[in-house]
Structure 1
Amino acid sequence: MYLKTIQLRQFRNYQEQRVDFSAPKTILVGNNAQGKSNLLEAVELLATLRSHRNSRDRDLIKESELVGQITATVERQNGVSDLSITLRRNGRRSVALNSETLRRQLDFLGVLNAVEFSSLDLDLVRGGPEQRRHWLDTLLIQLEPIYAYILQQYNQVLRQRNAFLKRNLESASKNEAQELALWNVQLATTGSRVARRRSRAVERLAPIAQAWHSSISGSTEILEMKYAPNVPLEQNEPEQVQQAFLAKLETREVAEQHQGTTLVGPHRDEIELTINQTPARSYGSQGQQRTLVLALKLAELKLIEEVVGEAPLLLLDDVLAELDLNRQNQLLDAIQDRFQTLITTTHLGSFDSQWLKSSQILSVQAGRIFSPE
């Protein structure tokens, strides 16, 4: 797949900006806080309808404007598509495909695929389980767009069940017990769908990440990646997982009613990352943690390519400066011309002459993008 053009209107610090991509690799060069990351964020929104910055829509719209918009043209093996996201400060966003507004945002997903790698991704290793769940969920949305709806359903049931628990702290009338039983069934049904899909994704991702990690580390370190669900998945049949879910809810019922919150479900899952049998977050140097994140990102690229049948875009947000020369070379060698790549940087020193020759180089300054003289 190839992103041919993108246009930003009142998005972040851009008033009106169009970019036409003319090479497999585009290097966006400029000082910090000029808008380089904002362009990559716009591409990420087109691919996943999410931002890794976890921003609210109103934060994405240029200050003092009411509406922002991202439009793009994407070329794939099966033809060319026009994508559009309209963001509203005081309302719901809308999406359009080939000029037709879509009733379900789910139908927008899967037209463009992209993997973003930024300095924030170090939190995949160092941060809490929530960061790893968010990362896996974003990947799953691209592998299987229906997952966005499944996750939304689960989160809605979870919110409603939590509201019920808060309202009925430590009370146990007959009616309330019956209502709780209904919420339990809904939570188990939607939660088991989330957990089973996450488990399958990690199963496919782990060996690819392990191979990349071995290659980058020179086979000196062994990466293990495991899904650690809050509800056991020994039996992976939907009905059995739901029964295990309900059984665990029963054991935590008193604690949940006392605390007024749901203690069972995939919102408490973990993706365990270990290097040489030691938890990655406490293992080795920052450089070794960067190696792990790099391996995970390269594995994401390969898995999306396998499942979708086309190479996704790669978005590199100022990460080359954070990698040593060996890891930089590993990454740049892996990319070659296989993935359309957008790279942000403050200087061009990390690239050899061959890379610079085969790349489109654009300057970014105060929300303006232009070709340098």
Structure 2
Amino acid sequence: MYLKNLHLVQFRNYQDQWVEFGAPKTILVGNNAQGKSNLLEAVELLSTLKSHRVTRDRDLVKESAEWGKIAATLARQTGEIDLSLTLRRNGRRTVSRASEPLKRQIDFLGTINAVQFSSLDLDLVRGGPEHRRSWLDNLVVQLEPFYAYILQQYHQILRQRNALLKKIREQGIVNDASISSVSHSELALWDAQLVTAGVRVMRRRARALQRLTPIARHWHQTISDSTEKLEIKYLPSVVMEKDDLEWLQQGFLEKIQQRSIAEQHQGTTLVGPHRDEVEFSINQTPARQYGSQGQQRTLVLALKLAELKLIEEVIGEPPLLLLDDVLAELDLNRQNQLLETIQTRFQTLITTTHLSAFDPVWLNASQIFYVKGGNISLHV
């Protein structure tokens, strides 16, 4: 796939900016806080409908404006597609594909596939479990867009179940009486729904990691000159000894029942995919606690290269690669490994504060834009 152009209107610090992409590699040069990362964020939003930087749409709309828009033309094997996403301060979004408004945002997903790699991705290794869950969920959405609906459904059930548990806790504390049978029967209904939705999430996460792990292990070995062995383990809060639907649902339900008193006491759900962990180990040592900064960077780079390969295998086309000021975080060996892998196979958008880190041959094959104060030009 190839992103032909991008049109940003009242998005972040861009008033009305057209960008035409005329080479497999585009380098965006400029000082910090000029709008380089904002452009990559716009592509990320068209790909996943999410930003890894903010959660509210009002933060994406230019100051003093009520709405912002991201539009693009994408070339795929099936032909060219026009896309647009309109963001509003009140949070109401509209999306369209091929000039047709879409009723459901989920139908927009899967049109653009992209892998983002930024300095924030080091949180994948050293951050909390929520970073790794989010990374894994984003990967699964790229492979299977319908997963976004499954995940949304699970979190909706989780919120309602938590609201009931909070109510039960308050009943028990305030009235100092046993929980009513009505609340218990209502909780049993939510238990059943949580199990059904939760198992769907867990199975897809496990399958995606099963496919990604050997590819990541290969890249990790290559980058570390075979001195390190990477292991990736999915650690769900419910044991997954076998991928059997009934067996998993039964195990999930039993685990909920085991923690029922603790859940009612704390007023929150203690079992389920929202508590899962992904563990990275290097030479049988947990990377989070003991990995050096260099090892952690190698690990994240291996994961990103594996994502590229896996998405390409599944969808049949190479995804876009978004590199947000990441070359400065990598030593020369890791930089070369990354740039050699990309070549012209993956359309790549790169942000940087200076061009000195790039090989001259690479620069000659790239389109270079200069970004200053929300304006993009071919000249400094």
Q: Which residue of 2 aligns with 1:110?
A: 110
Residue in structure 1 matched with residue 175 of structure 2 by the alignment: none
2:129/2:278 contact within 8 Å kept: yes
Query: What amino acid is aligned across from residue 379 of structure 2 in structure 1?
Result: P
1:338 to 345, 360, 366: 345
| Alpha-carbon distance in 2 for matches of 1:329, 1:264 | 43
How many Å apart are 1:291 and its aligned residue? Answer: 0.5
Deviation at residue 51 of structure 1 after TM alignment: 1.1
* Range 150-159 or range 104-113, more displaced: 104-113
> Alpha-carbon deviations, 1:226-278, whole Å to 9, x = none?
11111111131222211111110000000000000000000000011000111
Is 2:217 the partner of 1:195? Answer: no
Give the C-alpha shift of residue 94 in structure 1.
1.1
Alpha-carbon distance in structure 1 between the residues aligned to 2:106 and 2:283: 40
Tell me, in whole angstroms, the C-alpha distance in 2 between the residues paired with 1:58 and 1:242: 40
Which consecutive unaligned segments of at least 5 residues does structure 1 have? none
Distance 1:91 1:290, change over 3 A: closer
Instruction: State the distance in 2 between where 1:227 and 1:144 align.
Output: 19
| Structure 1 residue matching 2:58: 3-state secondary structure | helix
- In the TM superposition, 1:90-105 aligns within 5 A as 90-105=90-105
Whether the 8 Å CA contact 2:58–2:91 is kept in 1: the answer is no
Alignment of 1:306-317 (within 5 A): 306-317=313-324
Comparing 251-260 with 231-240, greater Cα deviation is found at 231-240
Distance 2:279 2:294 in 1: 19
Counterpart CA distance in 2 for 1:190 and 1:273 is: 26
- How far apart are residue 179 of structure 1 and its match? 0.3
What are the equivalent positions in structure 2 for 1:27-106 lying under 5 Å apart?
Answer: 27-106=27-106
Measure, in 2, the Cα distance between the counterparts of 1:153 and 1:54. 22
Question: Is the contact made by 2:29 and 2:371 (CA closer than 8 Å) also made in structure 1?
Answer: yes
Q: After superposition, what is the alpha-carbon deviation per residue over 1:174-193, rounded to whole angstroms, capped at 9, x for unaligned?
A: 11110000000000000000
User: Given residue 219 of structure 1, which amino acid in structure 2 is its aligned partner?
Assistant: S
| TM-score, structure 2 as length reference | 0.97
Amino acid at match of 2:158: L
The one of 168, 178, 201 aligned to 2:185: 178
Q: Give matches, 1:1-40, under 5 Å.
A: 1-40=1-40
> Which AA in structure 1 matches 2:266?
Q
Task: Tell me how far 1:285 sits from its aligned partner.
Answer: 1.9
Aligned with 2:332 (options 320, 325, 340): 325
Structure 1 Cα separation of the partners of residues 314 and 233 of structure 2: 20
CA distance in 1, matches of 2:18, 2:138: 27
Q: Which amino acid aligns with 1:46?
A: L
Which whole-Å CA distance do the structure 1 matches of 2:188 and 2:116 have between them? Answer: 41
Q: What is the CA–CA distance in structure 2 between the aligned matches of 1:55 and 1:338, rounded to whole Å?
A: 32
1:366 aligns with 2:373: yes
Structure 2 partner of 1:253: 260
SS of aligned partner of 2:358: coil
Matches within 5 A, 1:287-306: 287-306=294-313
How far is 1:104 from its partner?
Answer: 1.1
Identity %: 70
Q: Name the CA distance, whole Å, in 2 between partners of 1:262 and 1:54.
A: 26
CA distance in 1, matches of 2:295, 2:349: 25
Whole-angstrom CA distance in 1 between matches of 2:266 and 2:6: 48
State whether structure 2 residue 351 is matched by structure 1 residue 351.
Answer: no
How many angstroms does 1:353 deviate by?
1.3
Q: Which amino acid in 1 is paired with 2:356?
A: G
Aligned residues: 373
Q: Distance in 2 between matches of 1:66 and 1:330?
A: 44
- Unmatched 5+ stretches in structure 2: 173-177
Deviation at 1:283, TM superposition (A): 2.4
Deviation of residue 284 (structure 1)?
Answer: 3.4
Provide the rounded CA distance (Å) in 2 between the counterparts of 1:101 and 1:262. Answer: 38
Separation in 2, partners of 1:243, 1:50 = 34
Measure the CA separation in 2 of the matches of 1:99 and 1:82.
7
Give the letter for the 1:8 counterpart.
L
Deviation of 1:281 (Å):
1.1
Aligned to 1:225: 232
SS of the residue corresponding to residue 16 of structure 1 reads strand
Residue 55 of structure 1 and its aligned partner are, at CA, apart by: 2.6
Whole-angstrom distance in 2 between the partners of 1:91 and 1:76: 30
Give CA-to-partner distance per residue, 1:123-142, whole Å, 9 cap, x none. Answer: 00000100000001011111
Letter in 2 for 1:57: D
Structure 1 counterpart SS, 2:228: coil
Give the match for residue 123 of structure 1.
123
Distance across 1 between alignment mates of 2:245 and 2:49: 28
Q: Secondary structure at the match of 1:168?
A: helix
TM-score, structure 1 normalization: 0.99
- Residue 122 of structure 1, CA deviation: 0.2
Q: Which moved more, 1:345-354 or 1:118-127?
A: 345-354
Q: Who is 2:284 aligned against?
A: 277
